[in-house]
């Protein structure tokens, strides 16, 4: 009986442990050149500060046929994003114009590099995009980007 009580206390202690990062629902729409953008990878990375250098996990989402995405944290996988300011990166998951499937690993790597270059670096590898995730979440984290 004593072992059960100790084990129960241990489980309750674990249940109270957490990373302290508050997640809220975040969704939005991505348009490229004014049109809904399907199969676009949207990444939110929390921006740390001097008093909070580790603000929490990043979140990702992939747009549907209408350009709509919903964020999920990378690790652990939970719905939403951490409250606060984020750097945003937008990458294509497939070519803007349909191409044949790559046949070799080298062709696949070249295609993936080309996908990143299809949008200006200011949207992905050198992103200038930011978004402030509000405390009550949002369904309007929208981005209108251009392919030029």
* Domain membership flag for residue 61: yes
* Domain membership flag for residue 109: yes
* Domain membership flag for residue 12: no
- pLDDT-derived band at 115 (thresholds 50, 70, 90) equals low
* Domain membership flag for residue 120: yes
Exposed/middle/buried for residue 142 (C-beta within 10 Å: 0-12, 13-18, 19+): middle
pLDDT for 102: 55
DSSP annotation of 131 reads E
What mean pLDDT do residues 94-122 have? 65
Looking at the predicted structure, is the pLDDT value of residue 74 above 80? yes
Domain that holds residue 46: 21-143
What total number of domains does the chain contain? Answer: 1
Looking at the predicted structure, is the pLDDT value of residue 8 above 80? no
* Domain membership flag for residue 11: no
DSSP, collapsed to helix, strand or coil, labels residue 121 as helix
Output the domain CATH number for residue 33: 2.60.40
Q: Centre a 10 Å sphere on the Cβ of residue 25 and count the other Cβ atoms it contains.
A: 14
* Domain membership flag for residue 100: yes
Tens-place pLDDT, residues 44-67: 999 999 998 999 999 999 999 999
* Domain membership flag for residue 4: no
Gyration radius (Cα) of the chain, Å: 20
The answer to whether the pTM exceeds 0.85 is no
What mean pLDDT do residues 14-39 have? 82
Q: Which of 26-30, 71-75, 107-111, 123-127 has the highest mean pLDDT?
A: 26-30
* Domain membership flag for residue 5: no
Looking at the predicted structure, is the pLDDT value of residue 122 above 80? yes
């Amino acid at each position: 009986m004593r072992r059960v009580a100790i084990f129960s206390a241990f489980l309750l202690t674990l249940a109270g442990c957490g990373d302290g990062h508050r997640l809220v629902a975040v969704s939005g729409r991505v348009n490229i050149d004014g049109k809904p953008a399907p199969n676009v990878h949207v990444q939110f990375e929390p921006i740390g500060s001097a008093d909070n250098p580790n603000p929490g996990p990043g979140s990702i989402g992939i747009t549907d046929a209408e350009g709509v995405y919903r964020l999920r944290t990378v690790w652990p996988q939970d719905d939403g994003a951490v409250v606060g300011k984020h750097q945003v990166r937008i990458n294509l998951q497939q070519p803007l114009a349909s191409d044949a499937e790559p046949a070799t690993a080298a062709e696949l790597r070249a295609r993936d590099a080309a996908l990143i270059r299809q949008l200006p670096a200011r949207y992905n590898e050198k992103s200038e995009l930011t978004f402030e995730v509000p405390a009550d979440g949002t369904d309007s984290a929208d981005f209108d980007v251009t392919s030029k």
